[in-house]
Amino acid sequence: MELTIDGRAIPAQPGKSLLDLTRALGLEGETLRDRPLAAKIAGEVFTLNYVPLREKDAVSDRPSIRRAMAASHGEVRLLRYGDPAGKECYIRTAQFALFLALRQLWPQARTKMNCTLGSSVFIQVKDLEDFSASRLKGRVEALVKMDIPLIRRRIPLQEAVAQYAQDGQMDKARLLSWRTADYFDEYTYGRFSDYYYGEMMPSTGYLTVWDILPADGGFLFVYPDDQNPELCAKVPSMPNFFSVFSEGERWCSLMECETVADLNDLTTSDRIRELIRVNEALHEKRFSQVADQVCQRGARAVMLAGPSSSGKTTSANRLATQLRVHGKKPILLSLDDYYIDRDKIAPGPDGKLDLEHINTIDTAQFRQDMAALLSGAEVEIPSFNFLTGKREWKGHKLRLYPDSVIIVEGLHGLNPAMLPENVEPSLIFRMYVSPLLPLNLDDHNRIPTSYLRLLRRIVRDYETRGSSVQKTISMWDSVRRGEAKWIFPYQENADVIFNSSTLYELAVLKKHIFPLLTAVEPEDACYDEVRNIVKVLNFVQEADVDDEIPPTSLVREFIGGNTFYR
């Protein structure tokens, strides 16, 4: 069989891995930017240790072609750090080296993946007084130098559960007890074993760019810079973001829901209903506190921003309700109405419109209107017609009165380009909304904030816009790039960061999304992304408790039944 690897032909050789074949073609690369880290075959991601042509078939002595290779007709695309799937392989390999080093140095410590801070991740170290980030860094450097091969092995599920329980990793043993398959894949070195729910690089020697920095309660592991992966990324100071995430973790502990296994226990015992009530009460209390802050400052405008599917619209409406309790008359305004006509937007280098770009907003018109409103003038507000792609003027006029507060909601709400000049800063209150989910799969595997937002968007796009899973996922990388450039850099400028996640929603979303995901075929371009979502949801127990979720809940913005949309 002949393979085509990045457009170059080479015969498949029995027993030879993709890594062997890549080296034979001279495609190994000298820098992290150029070096292949994994491969995509027929829509799936594979380790470079994958062997396309086995030396012997399971039932005969003849070489056998692997299923994915047959499906792709020998076509292989190499993944590098610039590919999202390649970067994920790099991160998983880093996790293995980190937790192996921690186990070797401090076997009694409990370590936990916590939250992402820019291009770094905070890892919490518990029950340890002599922890040293520099000592850990030295051990990881040694593991990288050893170039340990990372070979996945498959073991019976019950053996895996017993193994992790005996090893003291009860978080993983409890999680695996919910697994429906009768096997489990893991990576091992010596007596250490772990798994990170996806492919890894061929060996630890591939970890060429990284750093470990000390931090209160643990350390930061720093990834390569996305734009220049030969250098470590700069770690921004994010005290507000970290404080809000830490508050979410405290609530996890109080509600006895720190991992997916905890959530499953609550679901099967029907205590998830209590979890929903407490979560919703917590959100209501936080909206009330934000309204207090707005009124105490005497702010006349709230600029509310957040990434896609963070719950901005519901948050704006719930804040408006709380402002009414203070005797205010809130006015809701969407930045979407300030979109420039689609035919006036220049396409990007790829020929497509980048709708996340701030240049799609008429910032000058918005600043002018806001300055006029805050000075007491009457202003005619535009409306954007998404069917025609054009802005319209329908005589919609606004004026702020002494008891008015305008709430402006949109992706770019915190961007300085949106703020009118010569306006007293205290009149503008800035609010950032994002679902900072503190729930982990297990101690070594967190559930990224972007994962939850993608689930929300898939469900909402299907339920309210008739969009397929494939269409939503095809746009997601572009959405993420836009957020990284135009939204995330300004989140620390907010006067308040609101955590819009709920601990129960994975169990609720599964009912709505699982049939959509399992209908995606291996031939679809998004199949690997869907498989990664399913890998997590397979551990989540579905909860049929929509009747418990109030009509003003943030979750209702995505599953339907939100009264603010009537």
Give the DSSP per-residue string, 235-299: ----HHHHHHHHHHHHHHHHTT-SBHHHHHHHHHTTTHHHHHHHHHHHHHHHHHHHHHHHHHHT-
d(CA 532, CA 494): 33
d(CA 275, CA 261): 14
3-state secondary structure of 360: helix
The Cα–Cα gap between 381 and 282 comes to 35
Instruction: Provide the residue ranges of all domains of the chain, joining segments of one domain with +.
Output: 2-80, 86-222, 239-561
Model confidence at 62: pLDDT above 60: no
Task: Look up residue 456 and give its two tokens.
Answer: 């929300």
Residue 58, pLDDT above cutoff 60: no
Grade residue 175 by pLDDT with cuts at 50, 70 and 90: very high
Please give the model's pTM, rounded to 2 decimal places: 0.91
What is the dihedral sign for C-alpha 465, 470, 473, 477?
negative
Q: Domain 86-222 - what CATH class?
A: alpha beta
Length of the chain, in residues: 566
pLDDT in tens, 287-337: 999 999 999 999 999 999 999 999 999 999 999 999 999 999 999 999 999
Least confident of 349-363, 438-452, 488-502: 349-363
CATH code for the domain defined by 239-561? 3.40.50.300
Residues 490, 494: Cα–Cα separation, whole Å: 7
Overall average pLDDT of the 159-180 stretch: 94
- Provide the CA 308 distance to its chain's centre, in angstroms: 11
pLDDT digits (tens, 9 = 90+) for 227-244: 999 999 999 888 898 899
User: pLDDT of 417-454, one tens digit each?
Assistant: 998 888 898 999 999 999 999 999 999 999 988 899 99
Instruction: Classify 483 as helix, strand or coil.
Output: helix
